[in-house]
Chain A
Amino acid sequence: MSREEIQKLLGGYATDTLSAAERSALFEAALEDQELFDALAKEQALRDVLQDVSAREQLIAALGPAREPFARRAWRWLPQPAALAMAGGMLAVLIGGGLALWWTRPLAHREVLVADALVRQPAPPLAAPLSAARPRSVQRKLFRPPPARASEPSAPLPTPPALPATRPAAPLLPRVGTAAVGGYAPAGAAGATRAMMQAAAMPARSFIARSGAPMISLKKAKATPSAAANLAVGYTLLLKNADGGYSPVPSGAVFHAGDSVRLRVDPNEAGYIYLLRHEETAAWSLVEGRSVEKAQHYELPSIGGFQSDVPAQVELLLVFSRVEQNVTPDALASQAHASSRITIEYR
Chain B
Amino acid sequence: MEREQILLKLRERIVAFAASHIQGDIAEDVAQEVLILLHEKYHRVERLEELVPLALQIARFKIMSLRRKSQRHGEYTQVSIADIQLPDPEANPAALVERKLMLERLTQAVGQLGDRCRELLRLKLQGKNFGEIQKRMGAQSINTVYTWDYRCRQQLLDLMGGDWEAGKR
Contacts and interface: CB of A to CB of B under 8 A. Distances in A.
A66 interface: yes
A34 to B, nearest CB: 5
A17 B127 CA distance: 6
Query: Which secondary structure characterizes the binding site on chain A?
Result: helix
B3 interface: no
A43 B152 CA distance: 14
A31 interface: yes
Nearest to A31: B9
B107 A31 contact: no
B145 to A, nearest CB: 9
B110 A62 contact: yes
B1 to A, nearest CB: 7
Interface string B84-103: 00000000000000010011
Contacts of A20: 49
B147 to A, nearest CB: 6
Interface string A181-202: 0000000000000000000000
Contacts of A23: 49
Interface stretch (A8-16, A113-121, A271-279, A303-311): A8-16
B71 to A, nearest CB: 17
Contacts of A13: 53
Interface string B50-89: 0011001101100000000000000000000000000000
A253 interface: no
A66 B122 contact: yes
A20 B164 CA distance: 25
Interface string A26-70: 011011101001101111111111101001101110111011000
B60 A44 contact: yes
A24 interface: yes
A48 B115 contact: no
B13 A66 contact: no
B152 A41 contact: no
Contacts of A154: none
Interface in A253-292: none
Contacts of B143: 5, 8
Contact of A34 (B16, B129, B133, B147): B16
A19 interface: yes
A7 interface: yes
Interface string B108-135: 0011010100110110111111110100
Contact of B153 (A11, A49, A67): A11
B17 interface: yes
Contacts of A22: 130
A63 B121 contact: yes
B163 interface: yes
Contact of A10 (B20, B103, B133, B150): B150
Contacts of B56: 40-41, 44
A49 B103 contact: yes
B115 A38 contact: no
Given A10-B150, A59-B103, A63-B125, 14 more contacts: A5-B146, A7-B150, A8-B147, A12-B124, A19-B130, A27-B48, A28-B1, A31-B9, A38-B17, A41-B17, A49-B102, A56-B125, A60-B126, A63-B122
11 contacts: A10-B153, A11-B149, A19-B129, A28-B48, A31-B6, A38-B20, A40-B52, A45-B60, A45-B164, A63-B113, A66-B122
